[in-house]
């Protein structure tokens, strides 16, 4: 197990998508889902070495998860198979043209039973960056402890940590999230959040600049604030930089944030400056929202410029 560029840790799920209301009983299509694995795929598609660590069931869905990750070139040496718990599921229904609704079947899943022992080997193998999200600590006590341990171990080993707050309201309250995530952010070099998630790594109700200042004080280098269709704002120690989103036809916003993160980290691995990292982040976000699926439309390296200068309806022939 050679050290990857990026190590991500979390729960990978099987997402079963319905094109209409679930209660109507239409067909479901199967997909790999999970914020951390999305980031790993995004980074791997661009040619970086990415690994994902976590726990999946010793069932058919666990096989499916592994097949998808391997297909995308994400290393899975560090994945545990849990013989006693099923792989987590989620159901995603397009309720109306504007509204997608998620139903989780992940309570008691293999992924939520993640513990410290699952992560020792992957962490020992090392990486240029460790990526964590605020979803994993919401899954269980052991998963929260494992996330904490991983952040600490990485920091101790000089591996920078990227933390995406990623609040899931169906999994825990904002108060519980804040209690777990604020200490976690102390180990991070990069913190990523949407505007309404920022105070989950700071004091309740604190404004953006206050939260950022405090994160800087605690050792964070960069704070990325995702603004949806308005792009993103990056707070670095030497100033603030904004990037707009690319103009594309949005068909599926799920996974857009993970794509943004993957683009940013890819730029970081390539040694780009902040502007370059943000540009790549915005590019991957544009691919994500203009393609169906959480990660299926992400670009390979040769495709990075595909959306440049093309308007809707373009044909390359």
Residue ranges in 121-180 that form contacts with a second copy under rule CB under 8 A: 168-170
Locate 254 and state its tokens: 């799920």
Relative to beta strand 89-96, strand 6-9 is unpaired
Is 300 a binder of a second copy (CB under 8 A)?
yes
Quick one: 168 or 174, whose CB is closer to a second copy?
168
Count of residues interacting with a second copy (CB under 8 A): 71
- Tell the smallest beta-carbon distance from residue 298 to a second copy (Å): 10
Vertex 8 angle, CA 272 and 44, to 5°: 55
Site for a second copy in 195-224 (CB under 8 A): none
Q: Which of 29, 173, 209, 305 binds a second copy (CB under 8 A)?
A: 29
Instruction: Name the active-site residue from 258, 270, 273, 294.
Output: 258
Q: Which of 3, 47, 59, 125 binds a second copy (CB under 8 A)?
A: 59
Whether 273 sits among the annotated catalytic residues: the reply is no
Is 60 a binder of a second copy (CB under 8 A)?
yes
Piece in contact with a second copy (CB under 8 A), picked from 110-118, 179-187, 194-202, 286-294: 286-294
Is 301 a binder of a second copy (CB under 8 A)?
no
- Tell the smallest beta-carbon distance from residue 233 to a second copy (Å): 20
Site for a second copy in 70-129 (CB under 8 A): 70-73, 86, 89, 91, 93, 95-105, 107-108
Vertex 156 angle, CA 187 and 54, to 5°: 75
Strands (E), 58-198: 79-82, 89-96, 99-105, 129-133, 161-164, 190-194
Decide: helix, strand or coil at residue 126: coil
| DSSP codes joined into one string, 135-150 | SGGGT-HHHHHHHHHH
| DSSP codes joined into one string, 216-247 | HHTT--EEEEE-GGG-EEEEETTEEEEEPPP-
Rounded to whole angstroms, how far apart are CA atoms 9 and 238? 30
What are the phi and psi torsion angles at 204 (to 5°)? -55, 125
Is 315 a binder of a second copy (CB under 8 A)?
yes
Quick one: 113 or 223, whose CB is closer to a second copy?
113
Is 294 a binder of a second copy (CB under 8 A)?
no
Residues with catalytic function? 258
């Amino acid at each position: 197990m050679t050290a990857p560029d990026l190590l991500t840790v979390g729960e990978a799920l099987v997402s079963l998508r319905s094109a209409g209301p679930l209660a109507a009983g239409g067909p479901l299509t199967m997909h790999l889902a999970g914020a951390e694995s999305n980031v790993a795929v995004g980074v791997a598609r661009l040619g970086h070495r990415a690994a994902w660590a976590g726990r999946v069931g010793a069932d058919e869905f666990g096989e499916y998860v592994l097949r998808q990750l391997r297909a995308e070139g994400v290393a899975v040496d560090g994945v545990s198979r849990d013989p006693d718990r099923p792989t987590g599921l989620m159901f995603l229904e397009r309720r109306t043209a504007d509204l997608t609704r998620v139903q989780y079947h992940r309570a008691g899943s293999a992924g939520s039973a993640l513990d410290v022992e699952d992560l020792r080997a992957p962490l020992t193998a090392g990486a240029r960056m460790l990526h964590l999200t605020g979803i994993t600590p919401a899954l269980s006590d052991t998963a929260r402890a494992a996330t904490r341990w991983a952040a600490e171990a990485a920091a101790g080993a000089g591996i920078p940590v990227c933390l995406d707050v990623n609040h899931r309201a169906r999994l825990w309250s904002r108060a519980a999230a804040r209690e777990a995530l604020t200490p976690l952010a102390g180990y991070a070099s990069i913190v990523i959040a949407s505007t309404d998630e920022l105070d989950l790594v700071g004091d309740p109700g604190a404004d953006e600049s206050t939260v950022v200042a405090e994160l800087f004080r605690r050792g964070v280098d960069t704070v990325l604030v995702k603004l949806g269709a308005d792009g993103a704002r990056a707070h670095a120690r030497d100033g603030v930089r904004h990037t707009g989103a690319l103009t594309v036809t949005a068909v599926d916003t799920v996974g857009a944030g993970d794509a943004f993160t993957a683009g940013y980290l890819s730029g970081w691995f390539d040694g780009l400056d902040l502007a370059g990292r943000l540009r790549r982040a915005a590019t991957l976000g544009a691919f994500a929202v203009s393609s169906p699926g959480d990660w299926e439309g992400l670009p390979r390296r040769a495709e990075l410029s595909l959306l440049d200068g093309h308007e809707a309806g373009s044909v390359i022939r």
